[in-house]
Amino acid sequence: MPTPSVSKASAGALEHIKMACVTNLVNAVKELKGNGVWIAGLDRSSNQVLYDSDLTGHLGIIVGGEDKGVRPLVVKNCDFLISIPQTGPVNSLNASVAGAVVMYEALRQRQKAVKRS
């Protein structure tokens, strides 16, 4: 569970989200997929670019550790892998930044889909 310092750093946002702590991520991914949730893993080597991916449905986003990324067994259980396009000498982002970029793109796509309806 998140510590009080994590809650403080989130500026209160943590109090408004649904969160679950699991001991086995692969089992949790399988359960989510069984309930109609698509699982996207972040992988900087993926050829599928974030902005070309459909993030409008029920979606779980896997953000790996900053040192090794998403673990291989978890990658095998993802429905698709996406990369965040970058230019210049930096080829990776901080995990929290990468997660925020993907979540914002999912929000943007969902808002655009609602406007079209």
Q: Write out the residue range of the structural domain in which residue 79 sits.
A: 23-116
* Residue in 74, 34, 82, 81 with CA at minimum distance from that of residue 58: 34
Q: Is residue 60 part of a domain?
A: yes
Q: Is 32 within a domain?
A: yes
Domain count, the chain: 1
What is the model's pLDDT at position 7? 79
- Give the pLDDT confidence score for residue 66 in this predicted structure: 80
**What pLDDT does 73 receive?**
96
Each residue's pLDDT expressed in tens, for the chain with a length of 117 residues: 778 887 788 887 888 887 788 899 999 999 999 999 999 999 988 999 999 999 999 999 999 888 888 999 999 999 999 999 988 887 778 888 999 999 999 999 999 988 877
> Residue 95 falls within a domain, yes or no?
yes
Query: Has residue 29 been placed in a domain?
Result: yes
Q: Which two tokens stand for residue 58?
A: 């029920």
Please report whether residue 5 resides in a domain. Answer: no
pLDDT of residue 50: 96
pLDDT of residue 18: 78
Angle ∠(83,84,86) on CA atoms, nearest 5: 125
One-letter amino acid of 56:
T
pLDDT number for residue 41: 96
**What is the per-residue pLDDT for 13?**
82
Q: Is residue 76 assigned to a domain?
A: yes
Task: For residues 95 and 99, give the distance between their C-alpha atoms in angstroms, rounded to a whole number.
Answer: 6
The answer as to whether 15 is a domain residue is no
Report the CATH number that the domain containing residue 37 is assigned in CATH: 3.40.1280.10
Spatial distance between the Cα atoms of 35 and 100, rounded to a whole number of angstroms: 24
pLDDT at 70 (0 to 100): 92
